[in-house]
Amino acid sequence: MCRGIREPRSEVRVGERVDAHVAAVERRVPSRPRLLVATLVGGINVTVEWTEPQVDGGSPITSYVIKYGDSSTDVDKFATLSIDGDTTNFQFTDLNENTSYRFAVAAVNAHGQGRFSEFTHDVHTSSIGEE
């Protein structure tokens, strides 16, 4: 140990409950959803699928937030939508024709929203009738 620098310590005193300390440490927002894939289904429909986060933050996932938009637009201007936490997929229907889209997903629990996943590759919709 270096002089003048104190290492953080977590102590449990005699008679204290260990599980109270563990619970306090584990209460946080979830980690990022994993293995995000966007697939064109028909000319203007895209299915987005992912795997739940490795860490739920000590609280069940209550919802997912999907961020999506035209790849030529600034990510800060992408739209978001919230879906139920019991599902790990969503189908976007009737997207604009001849447009490239990108998608990212964040998990939400009782402690808040976690970070967004990495964005998917561009998925390019086609003209109606050009599937």
Q: Classify residue 56: in a domain, yes or no.
A: yes
Q: Is pTM, for the whole model, over 0.75?
A: yes
Provide the CB-side half-sphere exposure for 36 (13 A, CA): 26
In this prediction, residue 59 has a pLDDT band, given cuts at 50, 70 and 90, of very high
| Residue 33 scores a pLDDT above 70 | yes
Q: Classify residue 57: in a domain, yes or no.
A: yes
Provide the CB-side half-sphere exposure for 124 (13 A, CA): 5
Q: Classify residue 15: in a domain, yes or no.
A: no
Q: Classify residue 75: in a domain, yes or no.
A: yes
Strands in the chain per DSSP E: 34-40, 46-51, 63-70, 79-84, 89-92, 100-109, 112-113, 123-124
pLDDT of residue 130: 53
Provide the CB-side half-sphere exposure for 9 (13 A, CA): 5
In this prediction, residue 13 has a pLDDT band, given cuts at 50, 70 and 90, of low
Domain holding 85, by residue range, is 29-124
Number of domains in the chain: 1
